Amino acid sequence: MSIEQQYRTRAKELLASGEVKMVIGYGPGSTADRRRPLFITSPEECDRFVLDSACITNLSGYLVTEGLLSDGKRVAVFLRPEGVRALNVLAAEAQLDPDQIVIIGFDAPKGELKALQGSTVDDFTYLLAALKDVTPEIAGEQLLEKIEKMSPEERFAFWQQEFSKCIKCYACRQACPMCYCRRCIVDSNQPQWVNTSSHTLGNFEWNIVRAFHLSGRCVECGNCDRACPVNIPLRLINRKMAQEVLDSFNHFAGTSKTQEPVLASFKKDDSETFIL
C-alpha cells in the first residue's frame, strides 16, 4: 500500500473513532505541482487527501486558527519535520496544547516520500535533535554564500534592491506559522510604528523588524518566500539569523515543546559583552 493510501486510512480511522475532530492535510492544487490545505471532518472525505513530494507547505500555522482548539478536542495534521519544529515553538510559546495535536509525520528528502513514525511531538525529539547538526538545504543556498562574501556596502545595496520590490502585501506574514499575533505591529496606525506605504525605508523597516521577530523562532519551512509574489529570498535572511542564534546561544528552534524562547529568556553565563 502506498504511503498516501496508508495515511488516508489513518486519517479515516482517527475521525471514525472520534479521536480527532478534524484532519488537516493536503489536497490537489491549482497546478499539477501545487497542493492546497484540506480540512476534513468526516471519514468518507479522507480519500481526497493527497500526499507526495509536492506537499511542502508547513500546515502547523492552521492549528492556531482562533477557536479551533478552544473546545479541548484534538486535531490531526500532516507535518514534515520543520512542521513538528513549528509545533514545538507554538507549544513553548503557549499558543496551543501539544496534547491536542496528533501528528501524521512524513518527509520527502530529495523528492523521495517517506513516512515518519510517531504521533506526538515527543515521538519526534530524536529526529529534531539530529537535524541541528545537519543544516537542511534551502533554495538559494548558493546565493547566500555569495551574499556572505559581499562587503557590508554591497550587502546593503543587495537587500535594498530586493526590498525595493516589496509591495507590503504581508503574504509572508500570513503564511508563517510563527506570525500568529492577532494584531501585527504593522497594522497599528495609532501610533503607526511601520510606514504602510511601499517605499524603501518602510520596506526596510518591515522586513528587518520581521527578521528580528523571527530570530530564534524561525523553523526554515520556507512558507514565507514561497508566498512572496515578488520572489524576495526571505528565507536567506531567516537562515542567516538562525545561524547567528545557533552560534551565539547554541539554540536550534523547535527541538522540544518546553524549549525556552531564546530571546525572551536569559542564562547567567550568556555572552553579554555589550553590557558594561
Enumerate binding residues for ligand SF4 (CB under 6 A).
166-172, 175-178, 214, 218-224, 227-230, 232, 234-235, 238
Of 251, 243, 276, residue with least CA distance to 128:
251
Nearer to ligand SF4, 41 or 174 (CB): 174
Q: Give Cα separations from 47 to 7, 38, 40, 130, 145 (angstroms).
A: 10, 11, 10, 33, 43
Q: Are 237 and 103 in contact (CB under 8 A)?
A: no
**Which residues contact residue 239 at a Cβ distance below 8 angstroms, ignoring those fewer than 6 apart?**
138, 144, 220
Q: How far is the CB of 242 from ligand SF4 (least distance, A)?
A: 8
Q: How far is the CB of 40 from ligand SF4 (least distance, A)?
A: 24
Q: How far is the CB of 206 from ligand SF4 (least distance, A)?
A: 7
Residue 160 to residue 242: CA distance in whole angstroms: 21
Nearer to ligand SF4, 12 or 226 (CB): 226
SS3 24: strand
Nearer to ligand SF4, 143 or 167 (CB): 167
Measured at the CA of 96, the angle between CA 11 and CA 244, to 5 degrees, comes to: 105
Q: How far is the CB of 170 from ligand SF4 (least distance, A)?
A: 5
Nearer to ligand SF4, 11 or 228 (CB): 228
